[in-house]
């Protein structure tokens, strides 16, 4: 059976001039995690913010007291050199470091320990993230099929296995885009093969699209514009949670 619903508002749609207050408020409104979108202007054609901002907002949200607990900072790293930033993000309070498979395979990142292989191995990167004491997530853009993850997800050593897979339901880079239902078969396939896996969906999620995502088996729901733009964000968060838990037979 799928793990319980985790609702992670994306602070991409928060008021960046009042970020601390917006993060506090969304937690009070019932969020489980904060989804923190990091964009570098290379991997995606947009820029957000880096470690100093994460350090500041961390002070507004209590650290989770358990694995996957409330207050988890779910950092979605839309960056070309994911290995390079692991330690920095750990130091500012990131709990879950979710990198893109496509970046891990194309980057010639230089790690603090020295130059990595020209092509960083996603499995090694997962182990490295775990060694720093964070949960590891791996994200797929719409063009990437889930079959690339089979070896990683079935690795015999749990240090090499991700704690979460993120299936993008928009092209990464911007909030407020239209949900791509074409990505849901990936979620279905993963849920069928890995009943316990945390499967996150990100992009265009809200009251109008949650049924499809929950039916497919997603349990970690990112929603930016649908939560921060709502008249009553608590109501939207509660609806997203109820839909996921109901479809998974948990209510």
Ligand X SMILES: O=C(CO)[C@H](O)[C@H](O)COP(=O)(O)O
Give the span between the Cα atoms of 136 and 196, in whole angstroms: 15
| Segment 35 to 54, residues that bind Fe ion, using CB under 5 A | 37
CB of 19 vs ligand X, minimal distance in Å: 15
Start-end of H helices in 132-183 = 150-153
Contact with Fe ion (CB under 5 A) among 29, 202, 219, 233:
202
Q: Which does 204 bind (CB under 5 to 8 A by kind): ligand X, Fe ion, none?
A: ligand X
Residue nearest to Fe ion (CB): 76
Q: Rounded to an integer, what distance in angstroms lies between the CA atom of residue 190 and that of residue 99?
A: 18
**Smallest separation (angstroms) from ligand X to the CB of 122:** 19
Distances (CA, A) of 136 to 5, 83, 126: 18, 12, 6
Site stretch for Fe ion (CB under 5 A), options 79-87, 94-102, 190-198, 200-208: 200-208
Task: Give the whole-angstrom CA distance, residue 47 versus residue 44.
Answer: 8
Nearer to ligand X, 79 or 222 (CB): 222
Would residue 18 show up in a list of annotated catalytic residues for this protein? Answer: no
Alpha-carbon gap, residue 17 to 204, rounded angstroms: 23
CA distances from 124 to 38, 53, 148 (A): 21, 28, 15
Instruction: Provide the minimum distance between the beta carbon of 131 and ligand X in the complex, in angstroms, as a whole number.
Output: 26
Judge whether 97 and 129 are in contact, CB under 8 Å: yes
**Residues engaged in binding ligand X (CB under 6 A):** 10, 12-13, 35, 37, 76, 170, 172-177, 202-205, 222-226
Residue 13, contacted partner among ligand X, Fe ion, none, CB below 5-8 A by kind: ligand X
What residues form the annotated binding site?
10, 35, 37, 76, 173-176, 202, 204, 224-225
Is there a catalytic annotation at residue 202?
yes
Residue 200 CA to residue 152 CA, distance in Å, equals 17
Binding-site members for a divalent metal cation are 35, 37, 76, 202
* CA distance linking residue 108 with residue 60, whole number of Å: 35
By CB under 5 A, residue 76 contacts Fe ion: yes
Residue 116 vs 169, nearer CB to ligand X: 169
Distance CA 233, CA 113 (A): 43
Bridge partners (DSSP) of residue 212 are none
State the catalytic residue, choosing from 22, 32, 37, 160.
37
Task: Supply the residues annotated as catalytic.
Answer: 37, 202
- List interacting residues with Fe ion (CB under 5 A): 37, 76, 202
């Amino acid at each position: 059976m799928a793990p319980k619903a985790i609702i992670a508002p994306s602070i991409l749609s928060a008021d960046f001039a009042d970020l601390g207050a917006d993060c506090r408020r969304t937690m009070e409104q019932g969020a489980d995690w904060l989804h923190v979108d990091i964009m570098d202007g290379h991997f995606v054609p947009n820029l957000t913010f880096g470690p100093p901002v994460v350090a500041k907002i961390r002070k507004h949200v209590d650290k989770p007291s358990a694995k996957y607990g409330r207050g988890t900072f779910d950092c979605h790293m839309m960056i070309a050199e994911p290995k390079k930033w692991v330690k920095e993000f750990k130091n500012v309070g990131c709990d879950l470091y979710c990198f893109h498979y496509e970046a891990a395979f194309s980057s010639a990142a230089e790690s603090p320990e020295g130059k990595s292989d020209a092509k960083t191995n996603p499995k090694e990167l997962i182990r490295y993230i775990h060694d720093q004491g964070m949960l590891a997530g791996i994200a797929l853009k719409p063009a990437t099929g889930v079959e690339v993850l089979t070896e990683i997800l079935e690795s015999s050593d749990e240090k090499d296995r991700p704690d979460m897979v993120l299936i993008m339901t928009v092209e990464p880079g911007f909030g407020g885009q239209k949900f791509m239902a074409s990505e849901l078969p990936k979620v279905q396939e993963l849920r069928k093969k890995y009943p316990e896996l945390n499967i996150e969906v990100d992009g265009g999620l809200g009251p109008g699209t949650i049924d499809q995502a929950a039916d497919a088996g997603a349990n970690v729901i990112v929603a930016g514009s649908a939560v921060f733009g709502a008249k009553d964000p608590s109501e939207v968060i509660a609806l997203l949670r109820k839909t996921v838990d109901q479809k998974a037979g948990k209510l």
